[in-house]
Amino acid sequence: MTIEQARARDAADPLRHLRDRFVLPEGVIYLDGNSLGALPRATIDAGRDMIEHQWGERLIRSWTEGWMASPARIGGKIARWIGAAPEEVIAADSVSVNLFKFIVAALRHDPARRVVLSEAGNFPTDLHIAEGAVACVPGASLRVVERDALGDALDGDVALLLLSHVHYKTAERFDMGAWTRRAHYAGALVCWDLSHSVGAIPVDLAAAGADCAVGCGYKFLNGGPGAPAFLYVAHRHQAAWGNPLSGWMGHAEPFAFADAYAPGAGMERWRSGTPSMLAMGALEAALDAMADVDPAALEAKSAALFDMFAEAGDALGLECIVPRKADARGSHIAFRHPQAEAVMRQLIAQGVIGDFRTPDVLRFGLTPAYTGFEDIARATQMLGALLAPADCTAGPASV
Ligand SMILES: *Cc1c(COP(=O)(O)O)cnc(C)c1O
């Protein structure tokens, strides 16, 4: 596809106007929104209001004027992205910390089951936290197997199946409904990590019958570096499950200053300590900036961006490691290449920002809200120019 053809596709893109809602620096093609989402313009004013007005002028009064309620309010705004009811979601802490809460909670919930099952090659923190969490629960252990062995490993000892909905490297997507049913049939609970899906592809936790989920605020939700993460617990489990990090902010009455812990109602109990309000404010502004956007429209655009990139990758002779079927993947594309690290370094030097992932993966995030077809055309042209001298099978750049 020529640059002119790509421009014509951008002009016809019904989501094109969303790009103006983001700060995208001149001379940069940003294909890393799955690691750190771009800055929404609205966040700049919201941040100023948060600092100058809410903190600077209202001071401690802001806690009762909106801050205390903000984790649940923000959770309610995330709910539409994940097929949850507003009161099933709360913003708090990081994905890592929230994973710890759910792993320990699930092990305590059914003392007859002692195993946490996850996938080899899952995002490192998911496995690291699971390792640390099972060490805190007597008799518990972590079982990590390859994806094709998960079914056999899902036996009567498994308390919790812990899976990332979309894989951070290969973008492979689990069939959430099918795997949730499988886990339930085996008597296990499922925790879905939505970090690489929320905000880019539709997620329907209710339809899947999911038990609990966590997700990231700073990737496709554009909440800012280190944005608060979120937790989801299905209504049916909310009364029975407890947060092992039972801090005062999750107490039924934090300002009663009681010695004994009493869990808050609903999702409130999943809070631990005082939330970072500057970060909460940035996340909320980012969610508000996307409040009118239909997740299904984002998925369609993501698929079109992917197809264009994949076609160019094929022409360059690159080995794509992402499933071609749209409903079997997330919203990035990745290729295996022996010089992946050097290639990505050069691309970044030329203003095309993607990621290198060990040992040999070139990864490009496709953020449907602000990535354009011209971005893909230009990025793949530059990629082709970089690869051409070393790889004579690919021929000249063909985009
Ligand atoms: C990005 C990501 C995380 C991030 O965890 P943090 O605690 O925010 O550092 C966790 N899990 C997955 C699958 C991710 O993609």
Mapped to the 3 state alphabet, what secondary structure does the chain carry? CCHHHHHHHHHHCCCHHHHHHEECCCCCEECCCCCCCCEEHHHHHHHHHHHHHHHCCCHHHHHCCCCCCHHHHHHHHHHHHHCCCHHHEEECCCHHHHHHHHHHHHHHHCCCCCEEEEECCCCHHHHHHHHHHHCCCCCCEEEEECHHHHHHHCCCCEEEEEEECECCCCCEECCHHHHHHHHHHCCCEEEEECCCCCCCCCCCHHHHCCCEEEECCCCCCCCCCCCCCEEEECHHHHCCCCCCCCCHHHECCHHHCCCCCCECCHHHHHCCCCCCHHHHHHHHHHHHHCCCCCHHHHHHHHHHHHHHHHHHHHHCCCEECCCCCHHHECCEEEEECCCHHHHHHHHHHCCEECEEECCCEEEEECCCCCCCHHHHHHHHHHHHHHHCCCCCCCCCCCC
Do the domain assignments include residue 41? no
Same domain, 26 and 139: no
233 CA distance to ligand 1 middle (Å): 18
Same domain, 24 and 62: no
Same domain, 18 and 131: no
* pLDDT of 317 over the 50 cut: yes
* pLDDT of 180 over the 50 cut: yes
Among 257, 289, 321, the domain boundary falls at 289
Same domain, 249 and 365: no
Pocket test for ligand 1, best of 168, 283, 363 (most atoms within 8 A of CB): 168
pLDDT tens digits along 121-149: 999 999 999 999 999 999 999 999 999 99
pLDDT value for 53: 98
Among 249, 271, 289, the domain boundary falls at 289
Same domain, 197 and 300: no
* pLDDT of 83 over the 80 cut: yes
* pLDDT of 394 over the 70 cut: no
Do the domain assignments include residue 43? no
What the block records as the tokens of 227 is: 């944005």
- Looking from the CA of residue 126, the nearest atom of ligand 1 is 11
pLDDT tens digits along 27-81: 999 999 999 999 999 999 999 999 999 999 999 999 999 999 999 999 999 999 9
Do the domain assignments include residue 398? no
The residue contributing the CA closest to ligand 1 atom 4 is 95
For the full predicted model, state whether its pTM sits above 0.85.
yes
Do the domain assignments include residue 203? yes
Do the domain assignments include residue 80? yes
- What's 16's domain CATH number? 3.90.1150.10
Do the domain assignments include residue 40? no
* pLDDT of 343 over the 70 cut: yes
pLDDT value for 388: 83
380 CA distance to ligand 1 middle (Å): 28
Pocket of ligand 1 (CB under 6 A): 94-96, 123, 125-126, 164, 168, 193, 195-196, 216, 229
The residue contributing the CA closest to ligand 1 atom 14 is 195
Please state the rounded mean pLDDT for residues 269-296.
97
* pLDDT of 243 over the 70 cut: yes
- Looking from the CA of residue 123, the nearest atom of ligand 1 is 13
Same domain, 275 and 353: no
Same domain, 250 and 364: no
Number of domains in the chain: 2
What are the C-alpha distances in Å from 172 to residues 28, 166, 196, 245, 333? 27, 5, 10, 32, 10
pLDDT value for 398: 38
Return mean pLDDT, the chain: 96
* pLDDT band (50, 70, 90) for residue 1: confident
Active site members: 123, 193, 218-219, 363
Same domain, 85 and 16: no
Do the domain assignments include residue 395? no
Same domain, 54 and 24: no
Please state the rounded mean pLDDT for residues 219-229.
98
Pocket test for ligand 1, best of 102, 191, 195 (most atoms within 8 A of CB): 195
Do the domain assignments include residue 39? no
* pLDDT of 395 over the 70 cut: no
Same domain, 262 and 341: no
pLDDT value for 30: 98
96 CA distance to ligand 1 middle (Å): 7
144 CA distance to ligand 1 middle (Å): 18
Percentage of the residues of the chain whose pLDDT score is greater than 90: 97
- Looking from the CA of residue 219, the nearest atom of ligand 1 is 1
CA distance 315 to 268: 52
* pLDDT of 397 over the 80 cut: no
Domain range for 338 is 3-30+294-387
pLDDT tens digits along 359-372: 999 999 999 999 99
387 CA distance to ligand 1 middle (Å): 31
Percentage of the residues of the chain whose pLDDT score is greater than 70: 97
* pLDDT of 152 over the 80 cut: yes
Quote the radius of gyration of the chain (alpha carbons, Å): 22
* pLDDT band (50, 70, 90) for residue 399: very low
Please state the rounded mean pLDDT for residues 179-199.
98
* pLDDT band (50, 70, 90) for residue 5: very high
Same domain, 169 and 220: yes
Among 289, 305, 338, the domain boundary falls at 289
Same domain, 112 and 241: yes
Pocket test for ligand 1, best of 96, 125, 129, 172 (most atoms within 8 A of CB): 125
- What's 212's domain CATH number? 3.40.640.10
pLDDT value for 389: 67
213 CA distance to ligand 1 middle (Å): 12
* pLDDT of 396 over the 50 cut: no
